[in-house]
Amino acid sequence: MDTSVVSLPQPVVWLETPPYSTKTDDSVMGSSTDSLEGNSSLDDEAHEILDTESHKVITVGHQENTLRSRASFIDLSKAGSVLNRRQIKGVKFLVKLQENTVHDLLLGLRWYGLLGLVVVFYVIVSGISGLLLFVAHETPVSTFEYWYRGFMQLLISPAFTPETNGEKAVIMISCFLGSMVVLVLFGLVWSKFSSRDSSCVFADKVMLQQLPPVMGGYTMMTFRFAHMQSAQLMCPDIRCSFLKRVEMAGGARVFQESLDIFDSTPVLPPQYFFSHVINETSPFFDPNPANPAHCNFRGCLRLMVAIGGWDAEQTHHVGSSDWGLHDVILDAAFMPSMNSIAGTINFCNFSKFTPIPYEASWAALGVTRKSIGLPPQFIEKCYDDPNVRESLSGSEC
């Protein structure tokens, strides 16, 4: 079992154990000089509090990878701010994290933010236009009127000259709409050809199911993957790992440990399920007879998967994602996701899941999220179907 320490160069600092209290101040996740306080053992209450607070540091949300073989990281020295929906660039494993870039901030803008961006773009270009007219010793007229007049004279008639205020208003509105079109086209080109986009996507949740007795009765953790181009990936390389918290002298440390490496499959279909079976060789295995699930995630912070492969055009695709323990769903299965007639993947059902019948679930055996080291799950945020919410409301999630 390969265990390696996460490499965190300066200014990145080690993640120390926060005090076991209900305090939610961001200063809890301070520098590496913070010492471990409270009990050294991970009781249930302390474990849940630790997961809640360290989620601010380790959370990278559901992300899509880039086509480049370049790693990106989160600076733990800025642990006070919640970093969500990050984009991981690591090819093999997550190593470190970094704060948002300008590109990430633009992608996260809402409609009014984009409208404000158009206005700023319009004002800047208007200023450039007025400056050029001033340099050319001409009277600065209405915004873009000089350029627009020459363009309309070229298309319509050399005698075209706006004179009334209504004609000038039409010119200004047309130029404003033209600025929006330019920005939209620029965004489309950027999204199409940017190396930050990836064709590899993952489902938002991870399914945790129990195999039938004929298959050993082990617990199986299932991930769902899809290739947006609906093409097969040849020579795939799938690597699963997780971040865990380990008690050490002077405080707790974050380590990265490998789970599985899938490299024996020659070709992956456009949609693929890959699973990690929690058996005697798994770090999550719990031999305690009192635990019917025989698994325990205590001390685990994040689950991570990275995948790479080649398509028929010899283009290398790389994708990765990570999940927190709150993204692990018990007693549920992914819904079937069919390809459309056009060959594209139906993403409407890609991340949806349905519950397993109660008689075949862990709830019937008394297994809860808390008993296997998982934090509480907010059902109303995970299940879109009200019938699914109602059917699971009686059991602990």
What are the pLDDT digits (tens) for 198-254? 677 788 888 888 888 888 888 888 888 877 666 677 888 888 888 888 887 777 788
CB neighbours (10 Å) of residue 86? 20
pLDDT at 293 over 60: yes
Burial class (CB in 10 A: 0-12, 13-18, 19+), 50: buried
- Residue 64's closest CA among 200, 192, 259? 200
Average pLDDT over residues 342-352: 58
2-6, 119-123, 214-218: least confident range: 2-6
Backbone angles phi, psi at 76, to 5 degrees: -70, -15
User: How high is the pLDDT of residue 215?
Assistant: 81
User: How high is the pLDDT of residue 152?
Assistant: 59
Structure-block tokens of residue 380: 């109303």
Give the right CATH number for 14-54+198-392 from 3.20.20.10, 1.10.490.10, 2.60.40.1400, 2.60.40.10.
2.60.40.1400
- Residue 208's closest CA among 25, 31, 36, 368? 368
For 108: left if phi > 0, alpha if psi spans -120 to 50, otherwise beta; the answer is: alpha
Backbone angles phi, psi at 37, to 5 degrees: -115, 160
User: How high is the pLDDT of residue 239?
Assistant: 85
Average pLDDT over residues 11-35: 32
User: How high is the pLDDT of residue 333?
Assistant: 81
pLDDT at 62 over 70: no
> Residue 168 corresponds to which amino acid?
K
Structure-block tokens of residue 227: 């290739």
The residue extents of the domains of the chain are 14-54+198-392, 114-193
Q: Taking all residues of the chain, what is their mean pLDDT, rounded to a whole number?
A: 63
User: How high is the pLDDT of residue 340?
Assistant: 52
CB neighbours (10 Å) of residue 251? 16
Q: From CA 22, how far away is CA 290, in angstroms rounded?
A: 30
User: Is the backbone peptide bond immediately before 11 cis, with ω within 30 degrees of 0?
Assistant: yes
Q: From CA 373, how far away is CA 368, in angstroms rounded?
A: 9
- Residue 308's closest CA among 243, 224, 227? 227
Quickly state the pLDDT bin for 387 (edges 50, 70, 90): very low
User: How high is the pLDDT of residue 364?
Assistant: 80
User: How high is the pLDDT of residue 335?
Assistant: 76
pTM of the model: 0.48
pLDDT at 66 over 60: no
Q: From CA 83, how far away is CA 68, in angstroms rounded?
A: 22
User: How high is the pLDDT of residue 263?
Assistant: 66
Whether the Cβ atoms of residue 218 and residue 277 lie closer than 8 Å to each other: yes
* Cα–Cα distances in angstroms (integers) from residue 77 to residues 12, 85, 158, 301, 396, in the given order: 6, 19, 63, 18, 36
User: How high is the pLDDT of residue 192?
Assistant: 59
173-182, 280-289, 315-324: least confident range: 173-182
pLDDT at 311 over 50: yes
User: How high is the pLDDT of residue 132?
Assistant: 63
pLDDT at 147 over 70: no
